[in-house]
Amino acid sequence: MGRSIKRRMSGLLLRGGVWHIDKVIHGTRVCESTGTSDLEEAEALLMRRLQAARATRLFGAREEHTFREAATKYLEENQHKRSLERDARALATLDPYIGELPLQRVHHDTLQHFVRARLGAGISPGTINRDLAVVRRILNLCARLWRDAPTCQCKTRHLPRAN
């Protein structure tokens, strides 16, 4: 009589009914919640993390980041700015439109829905341009300084000012 005992993958720990990943992958410790109590889902997530780390190591593939992640990093790193509250309001307004987009997909055309909605709400072009300036700044930081983020350049145009 053979019993089939399924072993869980190393690097998964059950804490409070939720599986957590705690594993060193190519010299980097990955420690995060899987957000699930299902062992199979947790193993699938761990496998995706392992495959992404392998692709990064072998092929130089970069992890894809969302605009929301970049915006959060921008707000955390610019606590000294006097206009931080204004930038945060602009990003909160933009988030429903581009927050979930990968950084490489944020460009002039993807921002047009935001621009049309704001113009339709009676917001002045100057205010919209200031909101877009924050997006432009974040994308340029991604391209030039934040090397772990995919390379991206902001290609947005200013709206003509209303007289």
Structure tokens at 62: 């970069």
CB neighbours of residue 83 within 10 Å: 11
Q: With 0-12 CB in 10 A as exposed, 13-18 as middle and 19+ as buried, what is 69?
A: middle
Per-residue pLDDT band at 156 (split at 50, 70, 90): low
Domains of the chain: 12-59 (no CATH), 67-144 (1.10.150)
The pLDDT value recorded for residue 128 is: 96
Per-residue pLDDT band at 144 (split at 50, 70, 90): confident
**Alpha-carbon span 71 to 89, nearest angstrom:** 11
Nearest alpha carbon to residue 66 among 155, 157, 156, 152: 152
- Please list the alpha-helical segments (H only) found in the chain: 39-59, 67-77, 84-98, 108-120, 125-144
Quick check: 145 pLDDT over 80? yes
| Residue type at 21 in one-letter notation | I
Tokens 């009914």: give the residue. 17
pLDDT tens, residue by residue, 101-136: 999 899 999 999 999 999 999 999 999 999 999 999
Q: What share of the chain is helix, strand, coil (3-state, %, to 5)?
A: 50, 10, 35
The pLDDT value recorded for residue 30 is: 80
Distance set, CA 32 to CA 54, 72, 81 (Å): 18, 18, 31
Question: Which of 6-15, 62-71, 101-110, 152-161 has the least mean pLDDT?
Answer: 152-161
**Alpha-carbon span 61 to 151, nearest angstrom:** 12
